[in-house]
Structure 1
Amino acid sequence: METNRNARIFIAILILIIIALLINNCTDRPSSKEIPPPSQTISLDQAQRLQEEYVRTRSEIVNKTLGFEDTRDFWFSLDSLEQYIRYVRSESAKQGLEDLGLRIFYAAYPEGGKEQWPDPGFSTVIIVPTNGKPSLGNGFFPMPPVQSTSGGIRAYNYGGAGKPPKKVR
């Protein structure tokens, strides 16, 4: 009888340890392991030059046309973006979609209408999930990947907009 009780206590302790380890491993905390940047990253100096080129070649035209200084930078929290990516992955898995991506569109909040937009008249960006695989076309020449909008998965918006616009750095 004592052996049976000890075995139950041992099993209960073992189950508690396993649960604690699972909970500890499932938390979203930063890893101390170094992660290399994706190949598409650029330096802040390069980013600043790209922004300066936009301002030099487009910003004045946009602002003159609109009659006010439009926003040209947008901020999203990492937590919110990570949650959106988890959502897109989850919804895509339900639909059996593969080769996932995100397409970013310039957009603008309309003035008036039924919906209450945060910044009517100002620019914004929307992020739309895509999926697609490279396809062959026109004989033996490979065509660039064809991505389509992932059906039914919500787009992402409502970041913070810089008014007045912010500079890189």
Structure 2
Amino acid sequence: MKTGRFTGTLPFVLVLCMLSIGCQKDHGHPPKPSGLISLKRAREMYQAYQPRFDAVTKFREGKEDARYGWHSLDYYKEYIAYLEEESKKIGVEVSGLRLYYVAYPDDAESENQRGYQTFIYLPTYYDKKQDKHIAFDPLYLDKDGKPIPVHDLITKGESKEAMFLKAGLLMSVAPGSVGNMGEMCKPNCSE
């Protein structure tokens, strides 16, 4: 029986084509982000946090703290779009988000969230000279129109008045670009 000269070549070519198509990086899906962890690792980290949670519970005289916070995916999309738009207006490219672990103070504004831990987040830009990401609020600029680094304001308690006087600005009572106000899961939330 006589076979054509492409009989053995055709399956080989088809396999190469399928491998080529299957190995392409872009299948119309976004790339998998770096920094993802397994559920096993997430559980290990949650367990490693428990001694801190217990210490906070003891400090709060037995009153447990919040277990987690939640925002909708739409919230994050809108927040990031807002940050990018406001930052574009001042010529700054957002490089990421910095999260700060905080607690609601014992004041009237905190209402029933008083004393519970939460997190806030601010945009960052990359400063090449310092080789680091700087937290900022695109609504607050110095007299030269540059974003004011806000890390010291948040972590060291530099007063808003001092920061804004240094920058030659008046303080605003309007909300800035600091993210918060997610739904908070207090102890023993049903899940």
| Range class of TM-score, shorter chain | 0.5 to 0.7
After superposing the two structures, state which structure 1 stretch, 46-55 or 85-94, moved more. Answer: 46-55
Matched, 1:164 2:187: yes
| 8 Å Cα contact 2:96/2:123 also seen in 1 | yes
TM-score when scaled to structure 2? 0.59
Q: Which residue in the other structure is 2:106 paired with?
A: 111
The one-letter code of the counterpart of 1:62 is: V
Matched, 1:155 2:142: no
Identity %: 34
Q: Which residue in the other structure is 1:71 paired with?
A: 66
Find runs of 4+ consecutive structure 1 residues off by over 6 angstroms.
none
Q: Which residue in the other structure is 2:45 paired with?
A: 50
Secondary structure at the aligned position of 1:35 is classed as: coil
Matched, 1:145 2:132: yes
| 8 Å Cα contact 2:122/2:135 also seen in 1 | no
The 1:163–1:50 alpha-carbon spacing in structure 2 relative to 1, beyond 3 Å, is same
| 8 Å Cα contact 2:124/2:133 also seen in 1 | no
Gaps of 5+ in 2: 1-26, 140-175
| 8 Å Cα contact 2:120/2:180 also seen in 1 | yes
| 8 Å Cα contact 1:70/1:165 also seen in 2 | no
Tell me by how many angstroms 1:165 deviates: 5.5
The 1:75–1:165 alpha-carbon spacing in structure 2 relative to 1, beyond 3 Å, is farther
Tell me by how many angstroms 1:149 deviates: 1.6
Between 1 and 2, higher relative CO (CA 8 Å, sep ≥ 6) is seen in 1
Count of matched residue pairs: 128
Q: Which residue in the other structure is 1:33 paired with?
A: 28
Secondary structure at the aligned position of 1:87 is classed as: helix
Judging by fraction of residues, say which structure has more strand: 2
The 1:129–1:88 alpha-carbon spacing in structure 2 relative to 1, beyond 3 Å, is same
Tell me by how many angstroms 1:61 deviates: 0.6
Residues 5-64 of structure 1 show CA distances to partners (whole Å, capped at 9, x for unaligned) of: xxxxxxxxxxxxxxxxxxxxxxxxxxx932232111112221111111111x31111110
Matched, 1:59 2:53: yes
The 1:99–1:77 alpha-carbon spacing in structure 2 relative to 1, beyond 3 Å, is closer
| 8 Å Cα contact 1:131/1:150 also seen in 2 | no
For residues 106 and 99 of structure 1, what CA distance do their matches in structure 2 show? 21
TM-score when scaled to structure 1? 0.66
Matched, 1:123 2:117: yes
Secondary structure at the aligned position of 1:147 is classed as: strand
For residues 165 and 126 of structure 1, what CA distance do their matches in structure 2 show? 22
Q: Which residue in the other structure is 1:89 paired with?
A: 84
